[in-house]
Amino acid sequence: MPAIAEKDLKNEFVEAFDGDDSGDRTPRQTPGKLYSKAEPTPVANPKLLGWSTDLAETLEIESPTDKDVEILAGNSLTPSMFPYAACYAGHQFGNWAGQLGDGRAITLGDWSSKNGIFELQLKGAGPTAYSRHADGRAVLRSSVREYLMSEAMHHLGIPTTRGLALVSTGDRVLRDMFYNGNPQYEPGAIVTRVAPSFLRFGNFELLAAQRNFNQLEQLVNWTISRYYPHLTGDDRILKWFEEVVAKTAFLMSEWQRVGFVHGVMNTDNMSVLGLTIDYGPFSFLDNYDYNFTPNTTDLPGRRYAFGNQPSIGYWNLGKLANALSLLFEDTDGLENALNSYEKTFWDHYYSMMGRKLGLDQIKKEEKELISRFEKVLSEIQPDMCLFYRLLADVSIKATSEEILQHFKKAFYQPLKPEEQEQFISLITDYSKRRKNNSISAEASRQLMNKNNPRIILRNYLLHQAIEELEKGEKELFEKLQKAMKNPYASEGFEELVEKRPVWAETKAGCSMLSCSS
């Protein structure tokens, strides 16, 4: 297997489209250009902190040498690399934001292997033409979170971009973590992100807003040929949009399955490959709260709260449909494809919930039971992850007291008498339904444990790992990196299978974060 410094990378996006090749990184508008050349800015003292051996095997990349680390830090390039920042637009928090682009991400090129072609991208490697007033850098805090979380989501079985490497830079970066006028210097870092493509809804929105019909059609056709080659014929653009709708609906149901809250579901953060992309102020749910948003910028409206994610997925698809409508004389097909989202999502959702509950079929009775679970759990708010793992082992003959005792570990506070009554009734009725399964109790239990993770990367654990790394310690970071590879395991890493501690409920970085996180 070749090392990064030894491999010739391709640059098919650059070769296919017009871009600004000047290398000028002055913040500016670049109409008609889909990218701008942006060489990484060197850093003082790069050190490799994290390396995904799993991803490296998929990519067929040799373990990094010192020369490779220099590349991963943006300190050097190989002759075949053409570093660039992509230009795109988007709707942010429901409002049109105009041109955006990769403000702190620089793509090096395409890495080919027997498992496919993947873009290698450095996040935090310095300013680009789209950095606006920012420095193009990333802090250790946000870089650790993205590196670990993108790999954790992969091992949870959720479509995602991935993290190949984490490098500390030796430089200090000034950040106002909560945009409250209290900036502080933090250690800098760079993540090497990997995906078949980082194309997002906003790439197409930009060209539509510029009324650039030719480039819009060119980008759509290039995307289909490269990533959806099975689609042919005169209706391939419509068929492509239908698949993007289906992939997005599936992704939203998967986020709901594990309690993942993205936090910044702007259209420029939505992948046309149906991947989880751009990890910022994300969080897993601790207590089962549909109104929870981890993003301080999302307050007080909570547009991107956990329970709103499926509807926001639909809203964002609507904006993509608007962009694509410029290529259609009759938009009825686009509207029908967009309207298919609701049924597709709910089909995925009920099927997913059936697996979480270990049920053999989902009909009207089961859908009503699922609705009861949603209602009761959102009211009493047990720890989502712990609750579902405990549910797999609850006895179908358990008494009321045994039910309360069995789930005690998942409660953040004692249940009130009326809450106890609601909860016991729910679990009792559920146990009766599960008893009537056509599959065995053990098969039901195994089904549940394959769909309900036991280990998730909770924000407080990430926060502790970041604090240790800032002190030069790696024990928890390495433990999390190992534990996340088998999140459904029935044993091991017991110290990570705990609900959020009281001290973390209001601590910065554990409960709420900002878009700079």
Mean pLDDT, consecutive 10-residue stretches, the chain (517 aa), reads 95 96 96 97 98 97 97 98 98 97 98 97 98 94 97 98 98 81 90 98 98 97 98 97 98 98 98 97 97 94 97 98 97 98 98 98 97 97 98 95 97 96 98 95 97 97 96 97 97 96 87 68
Tokens of 415: 């249940």
Of 354, 376, 394, the last residue of a domain is 354
User: Is 442 contained in some domain?
Assistant: no
Per-residue confidence (pLDDT) for residue 507, from 0 to 100:
83
| Whether residue 208 sits in one domain with residue 189 | no
pLDDT at 182: 79
Look at residue 443 and tell me if it is in a domain.
no
Distance CA 199, CA 217 (A): 15
- Report how far Cα 211 is from the mean position of its chain's Cα atoms: 31
Domain count, the chain: 4
Are both 173 and 39 inside the same structural domain? yes
| 404 shares a domain with 480 | no
* Residues 152 and 207 both lie in one domain: no
Boundary residue ending a domain (163, 198, 233) = 198
pLDDT at 179: 66
214 in any annotated domain: yes
Q: Single out the residue in 375, 404, 436 at which a domain terminates.
A: 436
Nearest to 241 by CA among 274, 279, 289: 274
pLDDT, position 327 = 97
The answer on 289 and 207 residing in a single domain is yes
Distance set, CA 161 to CA 147, 308, 316 (Å): 10, 22, 19
Residue 67 Cα distances to 20, 52, 123, 466, angstroms: 29, 18, 19, 26
> Cα dist. 214→210, 248, 324, 359, 442 in Å?
11, 26, 12, 50, 58
Query: In whole angstroms, what is the distance from residue 128 CA to residue 106 CA?
Result: 8
What is the value of pTM for the model shown? 0.97
Report the interhelical angle of 459-470 vs 475-483 (nearest 10°). 140
What DSSP line would sit under 446-473, residue for residue?
HHHHHHS-S----HHHHHHHHHHHHTT-
Among the residues of 121-180, which ranges form H helices?
A: 140-155
Question: What range defines the domain where residue 373 resides?
Answer: 361-436
Catalytic annotation, pick one of 20, 102, 110, 268: 268
For residue 110, what pLDDT is reported?
A: 98
pLDDT at 271: 98
268 belongs to the catalytic site: yes
Q: Which two tokens stand for residue 291?
A: 């109104």
The pLDDT assigned to 516 comes to 58
Only one residue has tokens 């992939």, namely 247
